[in-house]
Amino acid sequence: MRATTAAASPPPVITKPLRSPAAIAKRLVRLDPAFAPVVRAAGPFAPRPPSGDAFNALARAIAYQQLAGRAAAAIHGRFLAIYGTDPPTPDAVLASPVETLRAAGLSGAKAAALIDLATKISDGTIPLDQLASMPDDEVVARLTAVRGVGRWTAEMFLLFDLRRPDIWPVDDYGVRKGWTLIHGQAAMPTAKELTTLGDSLRPHRSAAAWYCWRAVDTLTP
């Protein structure tokens, strides 16, 4: 009598995020084997270190919005130079004339966004010392109350500065492009489609997003 081959059992459901970058990478490949090539190429999940300065991390995100890297870096550098060798504080930004911010190359909308960010930090709308203990959705709600700050900026802050493990920025072009490359698809998924596609990767979707970005770096000719 021929032995019957048992079907492979699905990975056990994990609700608490793994801590080891190597274990997270292994878990993602088990959940979705299509990630294997980019995991081999990029190595363990290794996002950039958090800045430790929430205000300046958000200010940088505002300065970089909708700009290419070099242009954004130049403008952000001139913004920092306004305040000398010390990082700008909310009070320092509030004391800066709009004309000074505009002279650094910031658009009117970005200058207004920086002033609004500084205002909402000063009045407690965004309590910097409490963000780390807030749920993801509450952080997004607080940050998107700032003029010119959308969900994408809030998600980048959650992923890189607060190191939240399960952020899935489905509106990010690089994440959508990377997913397409990883899975050999002809067309990029919509944000709505990607939301559903990423459900199986909980609670490690931050790492999945990072590997999607790395796929664009390593798999794009």
Tens digits of per-residue pLDDT, 100-128? Answer: 999 999 999 999 999 999 999 999 999 99
Where does the chain hold its CATH 1.10.1670.40 domain(s)? Answer: 21-47+167-219
Distance CA(101)–CA(81), nearest Å, equals 11
Where does the chain hold its CATH 1.10.340.30 domain(s)? Answer: 54-161
Distance CA(51)–CA(57), nearest Å, equals 7
Tokens of 33: 């084997």
Contact 118, 93 (CB under 8 A): yes
Query: Catalytic: which of 137, 172, 199, 217?
Result: 172
Query: What's the average model confidence in pLDDT over 208-213?
Result: 96
- Which range (45-49, 138-142, 176-180, 206-210) has the least confidence? 45-49
- The pLDDT score that the predictor gives to residue 219 is 61
- The pLDDT score that the predictor gives to residue 30 is 97
- The pLDDT score that the predictor gives to residue 210 is 96
The topology under which CATH files domain 54-161 is Endonuclease III; domain 1 (1.10.340)
Which residue in the block uniquely carries the two structure tokens 């940088």? Answer: 60
Q: Is 172 a catalytic residue?
A: yes
Tokens of 192: 């709505």
- The pLDDT score that the predictor gives to residue 1 is 46
- The pLDDT score that the predictor gives to residue 2 is 46
Distance CA(15)–CA(9), nearest Å, equals 18
- The pLDDT score that the predictor gives to residue 29 is 97
Query: What's the average model confidence in pLDDT over 184-200?
Result: 96
Domain 21-47+167-219, what architecture?
Orthogonal Bundle (1.10)
Whether cis (ω within 30° of 0) applies to the bond prior to 203 is yes
Distance CA(149)–CA(193), nearest Å, equals 24
Contact 71, 79 (CB under 8 A): no
3: confidence class by pLDDT, cuts 50, 70, 90: very low
Using CA atoms of 156, 160, 161, 163 in order, give the dihedral in degrees to the nearest 10: 120
14: confidence class by pLDDT, cuts 50, 70, 90: low
Taken in order 29, 210, 158, 154, the sign of the CA dihedral is negative
Distance CA(58)–CA(65), nearest Å, equals 11
Tokens of 142: 């607080």
DSSP letter for 220, please: -
Distance CA(154)–CA(116), nearest Å, equals 15
162: confidence class by pLDDT, cuts 50, 70, 90: very high
